[in-house]
Structure 1
Amino acid sequence: MPQEDVFNLCSGRRALLLGASAMGIAVLTGCGGDDDTPSSAGGNPGGSSAPAAPATTGGNPFDDNGSSGGGGQQVPGNSLIAVGEVPVGGGVIVKDSVLVLQPTKGAFKAYEAACPHEGAILDPPFDGNPIIMCPRHNSKFKVADGSKVSGPAPRGLKSVRVDVKSGYVVRG
């Protein structure tokens, strides 16, 4: 009489737990700190074992409500991204909602990052590609004006007005 393949629930759980345990051990061993530096190094006078506070260098301009914190350049409050972070001939998704493009050096455009078809986040173009693609259903849009080229999207992309101010692309 042929034997029926039956999934053994206990062995499946056991394998899952063993795999998860091994992964946890690997993560924990990879997270260990280096104890090669003396505890008084790094700006901790008196040998305190607490880590030194990180130096303020401006960091992410969106974490500090418009001030650089380092006494440097003032970041505009409506900033989307630093000019240098947008590749020439390409683009980046900012704040999960805006696609900022730099088709040619110094020229910036922006569109809503969600495809008008079903709201999937668009793929930014790169290497001078004149087409913005939707990864979900392959709708295509022109970088030049956001108009629809093809696909199931009912319309082109909605523009977001942007300007450049103090080295940042800002909402206009």
Structure 2
Amino acid sequence: MPDEKVFNLCSARRTLLLGAGALGIAVLTGCGGDEPAPGAGGAPGGSAAPSAPATTGGNPFDDTGSGGGGGPQVPSDALVAADEVPVGGGLVVKDTVLVLQPTKGTFKAYDAVCPHQGAVVDPPYDGNPIIMCPRHNSKFKVADGSRVEGPAPRGLKGIKVAVRSGYVVRA
């Protein structure tokens, strides 16, 4: 009788393992990379190049006029879309320009590189009147970029900006 229990236990374990293996194969088959159908540029040894040239996808900063949407032309000197800059805050664009919107419709810009050791400053948020450097805590005024305190030897360099066609641009 004990041999029958061992046999049933082994049989049940074998059934469980075979079922798990079959499930694993089904999952792998379903997740495998689908190969393109022959004639679609995906035949073995053939080219997988697309049959039509790729487009730019409507990049808003692509000023070649091929944006595809027929929307407004993005100015060549655009820094950021005006509606992307939070009111009472700002953001760093193009890695080195801090664009601010202290009040609705008013835009300012500064060189985002701290004059102390070259760290990129943090944009203010929620109406904070101070721009902070995260490296050594130099503080600058949103109003004019002047130094408030910290090891920075001077304030942030201002960049003249204007709004044109819904974009903040260098003036």
TM surpasses 0.5: yes
Does 2:63 align with 1:65?
yes
Tell me the secondary structure at the aligned position of residue 88 of structure 1.
coil
Alignment partners' CA distance in 1, 2:156 and 2:94? 17
Superposition pairs of residues 86-125 of structure 1, within 5 angstroms: 86-125=85-124
Q: Which residue of 2 aligns with 1:143?
A: 142
Amino acid at match of 1:137: H
Report the TM-score, using the length of structure 2 for normalisation. 0.67
The answer (yes or no) to whether the contact 1:66–1:76 under 8 Å persists in 2 is no
Matching residue's letter, 1:67 = G
What is the CA–CA distance in structure 2 between the aligned matches of 1:33 and 1:97, rounded to whole Å?
43
1:116 Cα deviation from its structure 2 partner: 1.0
Alignment of 1:22-171 (within 5 A): 58-61=58-61, 64-65=62-63, 67=65, 69-70=67-68, 71-171=70-170
Structure 1: which 5+ runs fail to align? 1-31, 40-45
- The answer on whether the counterparts of 1:89 and 1:102 sit within 8 Å (CA) in structure 2 is yes
Letter in 1 for 2:150: G
Amino acid corresponding to residue 113 of structure 1 in structure 2: A
Report deviation, 1:68. Answer: 5.7
AA in 2 matched with 1:148: R
Q: Please, which runs of 5 or more residues in structure 2 have no aligned partner?
A: 1-30, 43-47
Q: Deviations over 1:15-56 (max 9, x none)?
A: xxxxxxxxxxxxxxxxx7886xx98xxxxxx86667787776
Aligned length: 133
Cα distance change on mapping 1:33 and 1:113 into 2, 3 Å: farther
Question: Is 2:81–2:167's contact at 8 Å kept on the other side of the alignment?
Answer: yes
State the partner residue of 1:18: none
Question: For the aligned residues, what is the CA RMSD?
Answer: 2.6
- Note the C-alpha offset of 1:74: 0.5
Percentage of identical aligned residues: 69
Q: Judging changes above 3 Å, is the alpha-carbon distance between structure 1 residues 66 and 171 closer, same or farther for their aligned structure 2 residues?
A: farther
- Scaled by the length of structure 1, the TM-score of the pair is 0.67
